[in-house]
Amino acid sequence: MPESTKDIATQLESLREIVLANIVMAGEIPSPTFGEENLTRFVSDRFTESELDNISTDEAGNIAGIVPSRSAKKKKTGERNTILVSAHLDKVWDATADHTVSATETTLDGRGIADNSTGVAVLVSLPQILEKLGIGLNSDLLLLGTTRSFGRGDLEGMRFFLDHTPLKIRAGICLEGMQLGRLSFSSLGMLRGEILVNSTNDQSDAGWHSGDTAGAIAVLSKIVARILAIEKPERPRTEILLGSIQSGSGYNVPPTKGALRFEIRSEEGDVVDRIHRQIEEIVNEADALGQATCELNVLATRTPGDIGFTHPIVKSARETLESLGVKPRIAPSISDLSALLDRGIPGLTLGITTGRGRHTESEAIEIEPMFTGLAQLVSTLQFIDKFEPDEQSE
């Protein structure tokens, strides 16, 4: 395999412009969570040009198409095995942000270029990549662009698709633009929430204020201090991420409203539940003090899943990366992969290339390492295609 995987990377160099053009075009189409229609249309057009079967969008806005297996004529669609390759279509950027992509000799730069324009571009280029390499799979290859993965989207796209598809999916690969070497085969338990504080004190900006002049900020800061004091175990790995805090409008008006957004992540679901309850208590106590009304809203949750470090698919992906001279970076995921693992479908998240500045306006990807990432994807697909699930129990 080592030689052949490197050969794949070399052969794919001739598709350089095709893949890069797809990254640029996917990159310049705004696609905020819940507003992915234009990028869906682009993916749909590309699927049509590649003459995929069963191209369709569903009620959640996902776009799917099938590269039929070599044995497609012998068996009906429902009877064949299906391998899923997906990329989430949504980006963290608002539609009004400048989505211009620029190309240097070695990089492509622009908002969302890594997360996830590159993943989407690889998804739509995959039919040509396989054709170029003369690879026909024994399984149907289901290509899926998913909507609503970020924030309040809460993986709605992927979840909807998996809950409603009649296809027998034997394994899935989720594509992310970066980082090459990333190998996710487990998903973390996660709870994403917001704490809203609403105080009702004097809002005038002149003279002396009655009572507590710090308003919502004071209440929120007490809540923050107590959250930070929550004990977190070293094992299972657990973290509480305070993502954003918003309150107030100037120097001299006591703020009446405040919001704190946070995420709890842990390798074990029980720990997420325990910390969730603790934060709930903190918020309830703050509410009972009467300075302000405080409430906790849960926006998204994930249960942890894992197919195991020694699973043959994971092992193959690791070996492929090592053969390409890339050190695997094992990291759990909270993205679309967790929806697969939740449903008992073995899956991986693969990074396509190296990059920098994820979720910043100077997000950029390196062009050359991309071919290594593509070779890794193709090799992993070939392995899954041949892999018999029974081998796992051996």
Q: How far apart are CA 237 and CA 224, in angstroms?
A: 21
Give min distance, CB of 113 to another protein, in A: 11
Count of residues engaged in binding another protein, rule: CB under 8 A? 15
CB atoms within 10 A of CB 41: 13
Of 17 and 59, the one with the shorter C-beta distance to another protein is 17
Give min distance, CB of 143 to another protein, in A: 18
CB 169, CB 83: distance < 8 Å = yes
Q: How far apart are CA 180 and CA 175, in angstroms?
A: 11
- Residues 1, 7, 13, 21: which binds another protein (CB under 8 A)? 21
Give min distance, CB of 55 to another protein, in A: 17
Give min distance, CB of 362 to another protein, in A: 14
Write the CB contacts of 12 (distance below 8 Å, at least 6 apart in sequence). Answer: 19, 129, 132, 133, 371, 374, 375
Give min distance, CB of 45 to another protein, in A: 10
- 3-state SS of 9-54 is HHHHHHHHHHHHHHHHHHHCCCCECCCCHHHHHHHHHHHHHCCCEE
Task: Tell me the window of 24-32, 88-96, 209-217, 341-349 that interacts with another protein (CB under 8 A).
Answer: 24-32
Give min distance, CB of 134 to another protein, in A: 18
Does 174 bind another protein (CB under 8 A)? Our answer is no
Give min distance, CB of 94 to another protein, in A: 17
- The three-point CA angle 8-12-15 to 5° equals 165
Does 100 bind another protein (CB under 8 A)? Our answer is yes
Of 20 and 144, the one with the shorter C-beta distance to another protein is 20
Both tokens assigned to 84: 């899923």
Give min distance, CB of 254 to another protein, in A: 39
Task: Tell me the window of 58-66, 94-102, 192-200, 230-238 that interacts with another protein (CB under 8 A).
Answer: 94-102
**In sequence order, what DSSP letters do the residues of 270-324 get, joined into one string?**
HHHHHHHHHHHHHHHHHHHTSSEEEEEEEEEEE--EE--TTSHHHHHHHHHHHHT
Residues 40-59 as x/- pattern, contact with another protein by CB under 8 A: ---------x----------
Does 241 bind another protein (CB under 8 A)? Our answer is no
Q: Which residue reads 């809950």 in tokens?
A: 163
Q: How far apart are CA 394 and CA 384, in angstroms?
A: 16
Does 17 bind another protein (CB under 8 A)? Our answer is yes
Does 20 bind another protein (CB under 8 A)? Our answer is yes
Q: Where in 135-226 does DSSP place strands (E)?
A: 140-146, 169-178, 182-184, 186-187, 189-199
Both tokens assigned to 56: 């369709």
Does 96 bind another protein (CB under 8 A)? Our answer is no
Give Cα 299 distance to the centre of its chain. 16
Of 22 and 335, the one with the shorter C-beta distance to another protein is 22
| CA-closest candidate to residue 191, choices 287, 87, 278 | 278
Of 124 and 167, the one with the shorter C-beta distance to another protein is 124
Does 26 bind another protein (CB under 8 A)? Our answer is no
Binding site for another protein (CB under 8 A): 17-18, 20-22, 24-25, 28, 49, 100-105
